[in-house]
Amino acid sequence: MTLKGQAGVALSLSAFSSFIGGLIGILIAVFSGNSIAKYALKFGPPEYFAVMVLALGATSLLAGKNHVKGIAMTVLGLLLSMVGLDFVSAQNRLTFGSVHLEMGIDFLVIVMGIFAVGEILNQIYNETKVEFKQEKFKINELLPEKKEWKRVTIPVLRSSLLGFLVGVLPGAGATPATFLTYVVEKKLSRRPEEFGEGAPEGVSSVEAANNSASVGALIPMLTLGIPGSGTTAIILGALIMWGLRPGPLLIIEHPQMYWGLFAALFLINIILLVMNIAFIPGFIWIVKSASKYFYTTIGCITIIGVYSINNQMSDLIIMLVIGLAGYYLKRASYPIGPLVLSVVLGPTMESSFRQSLMLSNGNFSILFNRPISAVILGATFSLWALVIIIPILKNIKKKFNT
């Protein structure tokens, strides 16, 4: 659309579609959240363990092209979450005799290390620069015409619904939702040849699905305590830091927080729409003029932020070590999402696993005897089998053909 001279229209269409997608996602979440939470109350330790295995399994497989790297990152995240005193026996685990590691590694230290230090190093390495081809944007150039509205209305509504459903799945998140809706809209469109050549519904459907999926990903996080993506994993970490325990009881014990979150999301959507349309020229100016000092500023703020958690220098050293590791992992194309997700889910997954086996006196059949956990674990193993068997079959077919 930019090549057609419709950069402004594309920006405003994406802003309006994001708003509608987000709004539909919020409405579905508000009306379905309560019933999902009621159903989640039936969950015991084996069911929780099964859902977490599904979430981690799906994330490690869907995070990137190389599944081995995804699995390695999931396992590394789990190991990071196990550092410190064991919650049952109070034994030191993976501390290497260090007193600083006895209380475990704070989630915030890991996140700041990977997403602040690691990302800065990565951007310096890649010499990332922000460039804008169009120097100035005027508000009246941004608004779409009636014919464009007509073209995008149905795709936006359809993509919002589809995006929400994909977002609810553990491990899926917004990225698979956008790809899926783009493919679906291209298939359903009367003008599929225009996709990739400046079709407004191509921009709108993806933006609507993206926002709707983000709201959808909140549902398993709030009702089951299981984040479906890296972003919701960070929100979960923030809620835990505030003393809240996301799960089926959150809606009963902290209704003000639960409904307040959706009210805030609704307000954010409106504010974002206004900001996306009205402040585009201002944002461009900030990014163009202040981005040169971002690395230094973010570096200082990161140091202050991590130090202020426990007022300990050891947290800063751990953050830097994790940041350096994160930089090399990114350079080697390792997916970071599974690592963050497993750091958050690790403690709950281990406790539900050990509680389940305590209930059954060490008998693993408890995980498969209960219907809900059996179905979820069955789905996980099927997914794994599908992902592993299909490439093997393809290889055999290739060899057979040659």
Partner 1 sequence: MRPLTTDTYAEGVLKTPSAYVKFSKNIRRINLYGVEKKVSLFLIGLSILLLYNIKSLKFWSVDHGPVEGFLPFFCAIILLICGIILTTKNNQEKRKDQGNSKNKPIIFFALMFGSVILMEYIGYLFSFAIFCLGTLIFVKKYSFLKSLQIYLFLMVFIFVVFILWLRVSLPTGILWEGIL
In this structure, how many other beta carbons lie within 10 angstroms of the beta carbon of residue 21?
Answer: 32
Least distance (Å) between residue 120 CB and partner 1: 7
Choose between 167 and 323: whose C-beta lies nearer to partner 1. Answer: 323
Considering the rule CB under 8 A, would residue 370 count as an interface residue with partner 1? no
Considering the rule CB under 8 A, would residue 100 count as an interface residue with partner 1? no
Binding partner 1 (rule: CB under 8 A), the pick from 35, 126, 134, 395 is 126
Contact 224, 51 (CB under 8 A): yes
Rounded Cα–Cα distance for residues 80 and 69 (Å): 16
Binding partner 1 (rule: CB under 8 A), the pick from 124, 139, 264, 375 is 124
Least distance (Å) between residue 280 CB and partner 1: 25
Least distance (Å) between residue 354 CB and partner 1: 6
Considering the rule CB under 8 A, would residue 382 count as an interface residue with partner 1? no
Considering Cα of 289, then 294, then 296, then 300, what sign does the dihedral take? positive
Rounded Cα–Cα distance for residues 103 and 109 (Å): 13
Choose between 27 and 320: whose C-beta lies nearer to partner 1. Answer: 320
294 CA to centre of own chain: 24
Choose between 150 and 292: whose C-beta lies nearer to partner 1. Answer: 292
Of residues 181-220, those binding partner 1 (CB under 8 A):
none
Considering the rule CB under 8 A, would residue 350 count as an interface residue with partner 1? yes
Contact 94, 104 (CB under 8 A): no
Considering the rule CB under 8 A, would residue 304 count as an interface residue with partner 1? yes
Binding partner 1 (rule: CB under 8 A), the pick from 39, 285, 328, 368 is 328
Residue-wise over 356-385: b if at least 16 C-beta within 10 A, else e? bbeeeeeeeebbeebeebeebbeebeebbe
Considering the rule CB under 8 A, would residue 127 count as an interface residue with partner 1? yes
Considering the rule CB under 8 A, would residue 310 count as an interface residue with partner 1? no
Rounded Cα–Cα distance for residues 28 and 165 (Å): 10
Alpha helices by DSSP H, 279-336 = 280-290, 294-310, 313-331
Least distance (Å) between residue 59 CB and partner 1: 15
Considering Cα of 219, then 225, then 228, then 234, what sign does the dihedral take? positive
Least distance (Å) between residue 360 CB and partner 1: 7
Least distance (Å) between residue 244 CB and partner 1: 22
Binding partner 1 (rule: CB under 8 A), the pick from 196, 255, 299, 378 is 299
Considering the rule CB under 8 A, would residue 293 count as an interface residue with partner 1? yes
Give all strands (DSSP E) within 67-125, no chain letters.
84-85, 92-93
Contact 168, 217 (CB under 8 A): yes
Residue with tokens 């995070």: 63
Instruction: Tell me which residues touch partner 1 (CB under 8 A).
Output: 68-69, 71-72, 75-76, 78-79, 82, 86, 88-89, 91, 93-96, 117, 120-122, 124-127, 292-293, 295-297, 299-301, 303-304, 307-308, 311, 313, 316-317, 320, 323-324, 327-329, 331-334, 350, 353-354, 357-358, 360-363
